[in-house]
Amino acid sequence: MFNISFSSLTASEIREAANQKLALNNLSDWERDIWTFTEAFLNKKNNTFSVLTSGSTGKPKLIKLSRKQLEVSAAATINFFNLQKRNSTLLAIPASKIGGKMMIVRSALAQLNLSCVPLSANPFNGIKLNEKFDFAPLTPMQLFNGMSDVSTSKKVENLNTILLGGGEVSNLLFSKVQLLKASVFHSYGMTETASHIALRRLNGKNAQPYFETLSNISIALDERNCLQIEAPQFSKEVIATNDIVKILSPNQFEWIGRFDNTINSGGVKIQSEAVEAKLFNFLKFRFFIAGIKDEALGEKVIIAAERSPMNKSELSKFKALLEQKLSKYEYPKQVVFIHKFRETDTGKVQRSESLLHTVAKLDLK
């Protein structure tokens, strides 16, 4: 772990420290990413910044964002969470991606104290037991692992506000965060909007089942029922997404799932995420629902399981659970076994890529 004190050091001093660090040959990639962007952002001559998209639905692509876009997004977060000078914040997500970059921008603008830890599925391993943080952006996977590990679960209690992003929040994690005193928010956003444009409170008295947009954001649906975003501060054009949503009010929406994950099986449309939600609390291994080509149905529903193949007894119990929880249209025709799901840097499962690494298949009848 190392700290960058934006509250006590000038931009010139931090840039000098960054250049000294970058001159070293023994920096790890995560450290180099942090110092490289910090130095670049504090250099006022730089007005555009290149950022890689997450690659959760395809190959990551490089896009350019302006200094003004980053600062407007950071200011919205600073104001919403009332971040104050000298607040302690945590950077445990990649500075090579928009989430990590924005945490550096927020820290610079609000003069926060930023603690940086190695990238890990459980970043709490790199934090001292009594160390407290006012604000911590994490992926759902990181929070889940931190709460599930008995050696780090108490460290999670030292966070005041948690901002989850970069992935979906499972039913199991949702139930876990109800036990936290920290305020936990789930963010909706993308690289193109320089981080989140909407937030959902997951726990406490003000918990809500929907996302609420930040100021100066307009939302609408396209012909696929996918979210369209008008955010003049980020883009002159309407930003199209592949997220199927239900709009509840001019600034509130419920996330349904990805258009990419809609399965058309014999003319019946099935949303993968809706089926997964019915099973999350009952399966002890990671899984996802997908559709693959089928001559008769066009697409057939399958379930991918991150585990070794089941024996006869396990398969019998598994089929009984599926029959109990799912409709006949949702019931998978096949289960495929994958040793390890492929993921992006932020922990999003790459479904198509993962299916290429299937080790066994069993028909479910």
Identify the CATH class of 266-363. alpha beta
So what's the pLDDT on residue 336?
95
| pLDDT, tens only, 319-345 | 999 999 999 999 999 999 999 999 877
Mean pLDDT, residues 11-35 taken together? 96
So what's the pLDDT on residue 167?
83
> What percent of the chain has pLDDT above 70?
98
d(CA 102, CA 137): 10
So what's the pLDDT on residue 261?
93
Mean pLDDT of the chain: 93
Domain 2-208 has CATH 3.40.50.12780: yes
The domains of the chain are located at 2-208, 266-363
CA dihedral 89, 93, 96, 101 (to 10 degrees): -30
So what's the pLDDT on residue 269?
92
| pLDDT, tens only, 107-125 | 999 999 999 999 999 999 9
Assess whether pLDDT exceeds 60 at residue 58: no
> What percent of the chain has pLDDT above 90?
83
Assess whether pLDDT exceeds 80 at residue 83: yes
H or E segment and range at residue 141: helix 140-148
| pLDDT, tens only, 286-312 | 999 999 999 889 999 999 999 999 999
- Domains 2-208 and 266-363 fall in the same CATH topology: no
| pLDDT, tens only, 202-259 | 999 999 999 999 988 999 999 999 999 998 887 888 999 999 999 999 999 999 999 9
- Give the DSSP per-residue string, 295-327: TTTEEEEEEEEESSPP-HHHHHHHHHHHHHHS-
